[in-house]
Structure 1
Amino acid sequence: MITIYHNNRCTKSRQGLALLEESGKDFEVVKYLENTPTESELKNIINLLGIPPIELVRKNEAIWKENYKGKDLNDTEIISAMVKNPKLIERPIVINGDKAVIGRPTEKISDIL
């Protein structure tokens, strides 16, 4: 099953959702601002993406700049910050089996369909 971690207020996320709809494949939408991933789920997503946790953080968000920027945070602290503040999670994230991408640019999603 394909899963998209989606924020409807984000243009790139809406574009990613449209790409999935056009693909005709079954998928599930997780509105991650409402259904925030647990630390365990986020660790799994990061593992599937094959990136360090800091690369999943939206560093231009005010929450990051005001509370975390410039601090020496370890991976666990970064993941905890994203769980507490899901707005910090980069979007959209699309998972298909054991493959995952951040849909920026949107075309990256096609690579795992």
Structure 2
Amino acid sequence: MANQTAVRRKLRARRKVRVAAGERPRLSVFRSSKHIYAQIIDDASGTTLAAASSGAVKTGTKTDTAAAVGRALAEAAAAKGVKQVVFDRGQYRYHGRVKALADAAREGGLDF
């Protein structure tokens, strides 16, 4: 039952992303129990423009690490000239580590 709920949540989030993803790259988030990964993907060409993960930046709690990943991703995106993205949280709720990553990316200069 829990898996069905996650699948429905994922499809609902993806439906919203698909509408806006035509004109902007997508900031995709993957969260595991130990790490968090984020990448900016250009769906038109199928290439990854920038990426960051918690394997390279470990600071304090998981939430602090997620915020550091968001800042690192914003810096990498700025170096590539990306300012506007569509946030794709996947099946994860906008809460905790996912929210910390998003807030730090916004502070770093990404607009979504």
Superposition TM-score, scaled by structure 1 size: 0.23
TM-score of the superposition, structure 2-length normalised? Answer: 0.24
